[in-house]
């Protein structure tokens, strides 16, 4: 059915349609999952207190063919050694570039 947009509007119809929209918004909000809190419990924020958590990481000591870069302080393989700094400390290729 075609609608004549030039005809005068009936205010009662407008109010009824606004009320229907309001009821629809209330119904849709009840459809939202109520388990939002349970989802948020599993999410950890950065900087959270993890002092009561146990680390499950195995630390492997530095191997004989590795060195610690004096610039970035990362453990690197000897193939990444670029040279030594002025004070004789090893420097990796990335830091030397």
Work out the average pLDDT over 51-71: 89
Higher pLDDT, 90 or 59: 90
Q: How far apart are CA 84 and CA 15, in angstroms?
A: 81
Residues sharing a CB contact under 8 Å with residue 82, sequence separation 6 or more, in sequence order = 91, 92, 93, 95, 96, 97
Give domain limits for the chain: 65-97
Mean pLDDT of 66-86: 95
pLDDT of residue 92: 96
Cα 97 from Cα 67, distance rounded (Å): 18
The overall pTM is greater than 0.75: no
Q: What is the mean pLDDT of residues 59-73?
A: 94
């Amino acid at each position: 059915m075609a609608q004549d947009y030039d005809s005068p509007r009936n205010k009662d119809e407008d109010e009824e349609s606004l009320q229907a929209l309001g009821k629809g918004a209330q119904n849709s909000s009840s459809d939202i999952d109520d388990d939002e809190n349970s989802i948020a419990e599993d999410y950890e924020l950065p900087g959270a207190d993890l002092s009561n958590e146990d680390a499950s990481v195995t630390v492997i000591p530095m191997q004989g063919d590795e060195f610690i870069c004096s610039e970035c302080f990362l453990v690197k393989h000897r193939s990444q050694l670029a040279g030594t700094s002025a004070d004789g400390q090893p420097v990796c290729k990335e830091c030397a570039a």
